[in-house]
Structures are given as structure tokens and as C-alpha cells.
Structure 1
Amino acid sequence: MKAARYYDREDIRIEDIEPQELTPGTARVKVAWCGICGTDLHEFKEGPIFIPPHGHPHPISGEDAPITLGHEMSGVIEEVGEGVEDLKVGDHVVVEPYLVHDDVDTSEANMFYHLSPDMNFIGLGGGGGGLSENIVVKRRWIHKIPDSIPLDQAALIEPLSVGYHAVERAGYASEEVAKGKVALVGGAGPIGLLTAAVLKAFGATVVMSELSPLRRQKALESGVADYALSPAEVDVVEEVKKLTDGKGADVAFECTSVQVVFDTLMNALRPGGVLVIVSIWSHHADLDIHQLVMKEIDLRGTIAYAHSHPATIKLVSEGKVNLEPFITGKIGLEGLIDEGFDTLINRNETAVKILVSPSGEGL
């Protein structure tokens, strides 16, 4: 089968490889669509980061570069392994792409399995990947979806789960808490937009701060933002205060890893507000501890998701989140670099989510 294989920085090759072996407790998923993630772009330009370099196998997968890429995937069950009783051929599914040790408790009793030692992601740390024609996945990480969710939109459930978990970490993942509250999102990239979509689903008023006119337009046209402000044109802090009778935002989400955005969110929050850091920072940030103390700000981190997929799937299936506006391109595997990575690296404001069809079906 065809697969996108990561060898090293700026060295990704489309190759023919042998499909993975179906083993007890697993199922084979024919990949319908796989999204290109910002993490994939970082691996391409700056990596290896999550990807185990050649000669340094990952302690869970036992694999090192080259590995098959892709972790934002949807597909159809093609084959079911021994012991898997609740999946059948033809089921539509998405994958929660974790690699964790076998002795980690991944039940509802443990909300931190995603923070366990050596955790990595399918499609980064090994275990196959969604940028291939099919993938074998342990039953635990496969989530059935209703046929009412189109498979192309379903490929965005993984990044939407990132947004859901961030909103959950803020304590706003319910209408009882979020309705009528004002949320400020810094950055209208894919994760910022999808975090905003979750906030709107729970009834929050969403203000987005974003330099790019095209991204501000997408935020408004998709309905995930009530207001989209350019920090180059207005004082975001003052505008938020005007919208909140001088109080400030109730909750804010940092989705850029940019210092000035972090500072803006801190200044725009009301006393007792919550600030969630969603983006991955590769550098140190400056923090005004005095302001944090004097405003009693809750500063929280968030990474990926934990038990988030079922709730996220429910939001989409009930029509509370519409993922269709965020699909801005569809390509085949052969166009991964020239049409996919190049667009997202060099013209990123023109695209939100580019989906890849490894088989070429649906293009």
C-alpha cells in the first residue's frame, strides 16, 4: 500500500510498504481522509520532535524513522481481529491516536492517561499512520461514528477534540457554565477556530483576536466567532472591556505561542478569569506574576485530549458543531508536500484544514 514516510527533516517520501499485521484485539481501518496537522509541519521543518530518530526506537512502538505519518484520520472498518466483538466490517470510525504503555489505566477512572510516561501519538511515534491506505489500531483507540457524519468532516474530530479538552480544562464544557459568558480566543488558526466552535456550541459569546483578514473572515463566516478583532487595528483589551461593561473576558484561550498574544489575553481577562494555554511553546514565555496574583487569574495548560472523543462526536452528530467550513482543500497522497505542506507553511492564512485521501477516492 502507499504511505507517506518520514525519514528526517524535510525528507518525507511516498512509498509502497507492506500493510501492518492484524493481531488479536485490533481492527484494520481503511483510511478515508487524514488531515495535515501543525505538528506534522513542525516535524517537517524542525524535527524530528515526536518522531523517534533513526537508531532510537520509541519505547512503546519499538519503531524509529522512517515512520508512517498522519494522526487526524477517519475511515471504515475493513477487517476485525480476534476478540473484537463490537466492531464490524463497514463501520465508520475515527481514531484516538495514542501510544501508551499497556499497563496504563485508560478507563474513565483515569483522566490523565494521556500524560503517562513515554506517551506518543500514532502517526508520529510509530504504530502506522493515517497517511497510508490502511492502518491497524487497537480496539481501545477506535471510536464509532454515526453514518450521518460525512467521513471528510469526521477527520476533523481529532483536532476538534483538542479544542473540546481545552474548553473542558477551563471548566466551560457545559451550557450551564458557558452560556452568556464571554470567551476570548487568541489566534484563528485551525485549533483556535475549533476551540471557538466548541465554545459556541455551549453558548458562550466568542471574541477572536487575529491579524489575518482571511482568518478573521473565516471565523465570522463559519459562525464560531461573534466578534473578530485585528490587534493591528484596534486595542483588543479595550474592545473586550467595551463588550463586557468594563469587566473583561471570563475565559481566554492562547492558541499562537506568541508573547504579545499571551499578554493581551492576561490584560483582557476579568479578575478571577481563566487563561488556558492551548498552543505548544518551543521557547520560554514572560509572565507578569504580580498581575496573575492581583487579578487572581487561573492559568492552566492543556495537551491533546482525554476521554474527549465521545463527547466531541456527540456535538457534531447533534449539529452543534459544523465542521464543513474548515475543510479548505482535498488532495491525494502524491500532492502531500507540494499541495499540502507548501500551502500550510508558506500560505497558511489561505487554508484551515487540508485533507488527504491516501487511496485517491473522493477526490
Structure 2
Amino acid sequence: MKAEGVRMYGAHDIRLEEFELPQIKEDEIQLKIMSDSICMSTWKEVKLGAGHIRVPDSIRENPVIIGHEMSGMIEKVGKKWQKEYQEGERFVVLPGIPGQMGAPGYSYEYFGGAVTRCIVPNDVIEKGCLLHYNGDSFFEVSVSEPMYCIIGGYQANYHTKPETHEHFIGAKEGGNIAILGGCGPMGLGAVSYALAMEKKPKMIVVTEIDQDRLDRARQVISEKEAEEKGIELRYVNTACMKDEAEELMALTGGEGYHDVFVYAPVQQIAETGNRILAFDGCMNLFAGPADSGFSADMNLYDCHYRNTKIVGSSGGIKADLLEALDLISKKKVEPAVMITHIGGLDAYADTTLHLPEIPGGKKLIYTQIHMPLTAIEDFRKIGETKPLFLKLADACDRHKGLWNQEAEKILLDYFGV
């Protein structure tokens, strides 16, 4: 069977091409991919090629399919798995496969998301990484992967219980949360999750230096929405501050932040995060730096005397993905806040290569169609000459300007998918 997809042959060398997909074995499953959102981790992978820890050395001869935030339907089921999986059902892939460094979108010749069809190997299925999904949209599954990473980040934080040697996992209930560099797609996902947590914080402060990003953040997750849930939410433009750390501390009355998340791998941001920690505060370097020598000045005096902690997190575990799917299905989080652009498979390679240069949030690719990458905010203007985009603009306007199930159906119906 022919498949079309984006494969990597080396650093900065990714190609959209048609290739032969082999027949599945009795212990494999074939997927029809419908959507895949592009992750900054994929850009880092493409930048390094075989130098990336998850990428095989043999990609020049055996290229790998990129992309790991995939959604779609099961198309064929090998005999071994026919009692557990059904053709036509929807799925979720857990990209972090337990016990191995290899992962979809990095390591497999026929298993990835930037493609029309792919094959799930037996070992991935046996490890419980192909999950059933009963939802009614594809895009929500694609962005459930970044949401599960966000949840994993919250679960990486920890605090201590006074007068004991016990620790408790997660953000401090009733505490202050700072999400630094937080108006990008992952930061907004982190805000959405914080509002949905059972053990709610008292305050969330989100920083950014771009006023347009701040304005959009307020539009999609408002201070009023947070207030209705008993949480004080503040968006702050730190570009206007003389002493960033001092002024952020002042917002808490000098108490500081019990949980700080660094969502941009910038030395100054990390150092600010360290300076604003409360007693027993935990700072999470969530944004993965591309520089293996990335470092910053940290206050070790506070680490000793004020019990501050520094952690990092990358990805999550199966329980985090299941929680993300549960929250999405119950409409307790809104993953669409992360999405700002829509495109087809033909836009995947160029978008990935230039991802840091393209403004906005998540770029969602529908792999069964060809369409230029298009910003949601541009739909109405384009709709003056292309009726499809006028319909998409109207659908998004009915959902706070966000991508949604109605818009997805309009798009897929137009292309006959």
C-alpha cells in the first residue's frame, strides 16, 4: 500500500514523499492518521538528525517518519490483536514507550504521525501504548499529547510536609503558581490545567513580553473565568518592569511562588524563576533547551535555608495521558487554546523546519489533505475570496475564536475525507 508522509534522512533533511507501506504482520496494527500537531521537540530532532538520542544512526538508508502527536482511526488489525482492537475505532498513542528510548516520530521507519498511514509494532502494543478513544474529534487527541506533558510537569513538582521527612507530589494547594514565558501554546495549556485541578492554587501569574500574545491569552482564558473558579489569575508583561523578580514578588505580598514553571529556555527567565520562589518552593524547568550546556545562576543559599528545589520534566507517563483524555472529554480543560494554525500534509516539512520563526501557538496538520499552513486569525480575510475559510471563520467565532469540532468537520467534509 502507498503512503504519503514526511521522513527524515538527516539533520535538516526531511522530505514529503510517497513510499510503500508493507503489509502488516499478524502482531501489528495499521493506523489511518487524520491529524498530527507539530511539536517543538520535533524541530529539535530535525535540527540534530542522527545526533538526537532517540534517532537511529541509519536514517540515511532507512529514514524515519517524524511526528508523534497523532490522531486517527485503526484501519487494519493483525490476527493477534483482533479481540482487543476493532477496525474503524479511534485511538490514542502514548509516545513515551516504557523501558526504551525509541519513540514514534523519532525512531521508526513506519511508525509516526506526519503520514497518511503507519504501522504500530507489536512491542509498542504489548507495552500498552495504543489506547482506545471514544471522543468525537481528531484535533483534541493530537493536543492531548502536549497536555499530558503539562500534567507530567505538574506531577514532577514536589513539596515537603513540616516536621516530617514526607514529600507530596504536585503543585501546592492554595499556593501561588508562576508560569513564566507562559502565553505560548504549552503555557496556555498549563493555565487551563491549573484551573481544572482539584487541589486548586490561590493565584496564577502568567508572564510574557509580547503584548499581542498576552491579549490573546486573556481572550481564550480570561481572569473572570478563573475568578469563577476561586482563583486569582494575572497576566503580566514583564517587558514593562524595571526589576522583574521584585515586582513579581510584590504581587504575592512578598510571600513568593510555591510552584514556578519556566516555559521558555532563557537564562534570565530561569534566574527570575529561582529568585521568586517561596519557602519550600519548587521551580520546574519545563522548556527543553536545545543547548546541551544550558545553565543559569541559581541561589544555593535559598536551597539550603529556605528549602527551595529545582526540577525538570520532559513528557509524562500513561496515567498523565489518561488524565488528560478524561479532562478533555469532560470539557474541564480546553486544549484548543494551544492551536493557532491549521494546514495540510504538504505544509508539514516547511513548517517544522521554520517552527521557531512562525508566530503563534500549535500548528495542527490534517494529514489526509493538502492545504497551506493558515493562521486561524486570517480565516475571515482569506474567506473574502475562498468560501471555505469564511465558513471556518464563522465556526471559530462561535467558539471564542478557537479551533473546534464544528470547524474540523467543515474542513474534512470539504476535502471529502
TM-score, length-normalised on structure 2?
A: 0.74
The one-letter amino acid paired with 2:106 is L
- Which residue of structure 2 aligns with residue 326 of structure 1? 338
The residue aligned with 2:21 is 19
- 1:290-313 residue CA offsets vs partner (Å, 9 max, x unmatched): 232232112222121112211110
- 1:168-205 Cα offsets, whole Å, 9 max, x none, are 11149x99965532211122233222222222211333
Corresponding residue of 1:105 = none
Q: Which moved more, 1:248-257 or 1:226-235?
A: 226-235
- Give 1:50's aligned residue: 52
Q: Is the 8 A contact 2:204 2:234 kept in 1?
A: yes
- For the pair 1:213 / 2:224, whether they are aligned, the reply is no
CA distances 1:226-278 after superposition (whole Å, capped 9, x unpaired): 22222211244334333322201110111212111111111111111111121
Measure how far apart 1:218 and its partner are.
3.1
Matches within 5 A, 1:307-322: 307=318, 308-322=320-334
1:110 aligned residue = none
Question: Any conservation in 2 of the 1:30–1:75 contact (CA below 8 Å)?
Answer: yes
Alignment partners' CA distance in 2, 1:98 and 1:176: 21
**Cα-to-partner distance string for 1:12-39 (whole Å, 9 max, x where unaligned):** 1111112244234432221110011101
Count of aligned pairs between the two proteins: 337
Who is 1:201 aligned against?
196
Q: Is the 8 A contact 1:8 1:65 kept in 2?
A: no
Tell me: CA distance 1:184–1:20, structure 2 relative to 1, closer, same or farther (3 Å). Answer: farther
- Determine which of 28, 35, 57 is the counterpart of 2:37: 35
The CA distance in 1 between the partners of 2:35 and 2:222, in whole Å, is: 24
Residue 208 to residue 177, structure 1, CA distance change in 2 (3 Å): closer
Deviates more, 1:244-253 or 1:196-205: 196-205
Query: In the TM superposition, what are the counterparts of 1:1-363 in structure 2 within 5 Å?
Result: 1-50=3-52, 56-57=57-58, 66-84=63-81, 85-99=83-97, 113=98, 116=99, 119-126=101-108, 128-137=111-120, 138-139=124-125, 140-148=128-136, 150-171=137-158, 179-188=173-182, 189-202=184-197, 203-204=200-201, 205-223=203-221, 226-234=233-241, 235-281=243-289, 282=291, 283-286=293-296, 287-307=298-318, 308-338=320-350, 340-341=351-352, 344-347=355-358, 350-360=359-369, 362=412
Secondary structure, counterpart of 1:256 in structure 2: coil
Distance in 1 of aligned mates of 2:339 and 2:253: 36
Q: Which residue identity does 2:108 align to in structure 1?
A: G
Deviations 1:48-71 (A, max 9, x none): 4437677x249xxxx975211110
- Amino acid across the alignment from 2:13: D
Q: What SS class does the counterpart of residue 206 from structure 2 fall into?
A: strand
SS in 1 for 2:240: coil
The structure that is helix-richer by fraction is: 2
In 2, the alpha carbon distance for the partners of 1:275 and 1:64 equals: 42
8 Å Cα contact 2:344/2:367 also seen in 1: yes
Identity of aligned residues (%): 22
| 1:167 Cα deviation after fit | 0.6
What is the RMSD computed on CA atoms of the aligned residues?
A: 2.7
Q: For structure 1, which runs of at least 5 residues remain unmatched after alignment? A: 100-112
Query: Residue 108 of structure 1 aligns with which residue?
Result: none
Question: How many angstroms apart in 2 are the aligned matches of 1:331 and 1:22?
Answer: 29
Call closer, same or farther: CA 1:224–1:66 in 2, change over 3 Å.
Answer: farther
Pair 1:21–1:212, CA change in 2 (3 A): farther
The separation in 1 between residues aligned to 2:62 and 2:44, in whole angstroms, is 16
Segments of 4+ moved more than 4 angstroms: 51-54, 174-179
Partner amino acid for 2:17?
Answer: E
Against the structure 1 CA distance between its residues 265 and 64, is the aligned structure 2 distance closer, same or farther, given a 3 Å change threshold? farther
- The CA deviation at 1:214 is 2.7
Q: What CA deviation, in whole Å up to 9, does each residue of 1:196-221 have, x standing for no partner?
A: 22222113332112222232223322
Instruction: Give the Å deviation of 1:3.
Output: 0.8
Query: 1:329 deviation in Å?
Result: 1.4
Amino acid at match of 2:66: L
| Structure 1 partner of 2:393 | none
CA shift in 2, pair 1:355/1:176, >3 Å: closer
TM-aligned CA distance change 1:24 to 1:217, over 3 Å: farther
Q: Which position in structure 1 is the counterpart of 2:397?
A: none
Q: Secondary structure at the match of 1:83?
A: helix
Return 232-241 or 88-97, whichever deviates more. Answer: 232-241
> What amino acid maps onto 2:314 in structure 1?
I
Identify if the C-alpha distance between structure 1 residues 200 and 20 changes in structure 2 by more than 3 Å, giving closer, same or farther. Answer: farther
- Structure 1 residues 198 and 269 mapped into 2: Cα distance closer, same or farther (>3 Å)? same
Q: Deviation of residue 120 (structure 1)? A: 2.8
Structure 2 counterpart of 1:250, which letter?
H
Cα contact 1:75–1:92 (8 A) shared by 2: yes
Q: Greater RCO between the two (CA within 8 Å, min separation 6)? A: 1
152-161 vs 118-127, which moves further? 118-127
Distance 2:150 2:304 in 1: 27
